[in-house]
Amino acid sequence: MRSRRSVNAVGLDETIYVREGRYRRQLWSTQIVDVQRGQLLDVVAGRNVSAGCAWFAARPRAWCDAVRWATLDLSNSYRTMFDTMLPTAVQVADPFHVVRLANTALDECRWRVQNEIVGHRGRKEDPLYRARRRLTMAAEQLTIDGRERLIGLLAAGDPAREVWFAWNAEEVVRQTYDHTNVELAATWVAEIGHDFTDESMPLEVRRLGRTITKWVAQIAAWHQPHVSNGPTEAINNLVKRTAFGFRRFEHYRIRALLYAGKPNW
């Protein structure tokens, strides 16, 4: 499909469109979405760099140059694709995926400390297991009693304060999106990436810091247009509901475009 209308922001996301065979082999596709209008532009097979690059190469040069923002999750393949085919577009890391990465680091830290302290997975009487729900809540949503309860559970189950540091790291990452000044936000992201990699931090936080350092420009760029990959995720969910299970890619693509796009046949 050839899109003639200019697009201000493009988003990419992948999805599984069929599982087949004895070992449930997964077939993937990449959805290319007009983020500004929330409209599916096209679907390409696979989630590798070459397929997406071929699609962008088929667009007129003027069309590619008109794209100002390129939204993505923290995918190296999509980053390479944008670097190659949309070099003038500013890449924007999706805030949801950045915060989820911090949440994952917190969960993994809690699981590790739990096993190191008591030697088994969380049980209802274990302090860290009992704290798990409060750890997932934003700090400002905790009541005074809830915060005191959380601090007490961490003191009982986290003697080295590793989970405590991981929880604070997650909160600091969330606060990235409270800034309104672009330059201040960029400095903030660079500093937390540096601080998280300090040897005193839990290994999960250090790993999070290395990832943030790698994606500093894309994370900070959100503060310019405030665009996200949310419309792309919404299109992805619609495609999953309406087109999942088609074994022939062309049938799957047509179904997806009919229900989630506006094809220009």
Q: pLDDT tens for residues 21-56?
A: 777 788 999 999 999 999 999 999 998 899 999 999
Chain centroid offset of residue 173 CA: 13
Tell which residue, 58, 18, 20, has the closest CA to residue 32. Answer: 58
Q: pLDDT tens for residues 11-21?
A: 999 999 888 77
* pTM for this predicted structure: 0.89
Q: Where are the domains of the chain?
A: 9-94+228-260, 95-220
CB 12 within 8 A of CB 30: yes
Q: What is the rounded CA–CA span in Å between residue 248 and residue 70?
A: 29
CB 249 within 8 A of CB 29: yes
Vertex 99 angle, CA 129 and 220, to 5°: 155
Here the tokens at position 172 are: 């600091």
Please state which CATH number belongs to domain 9-94+228-260: 3.30.420.10
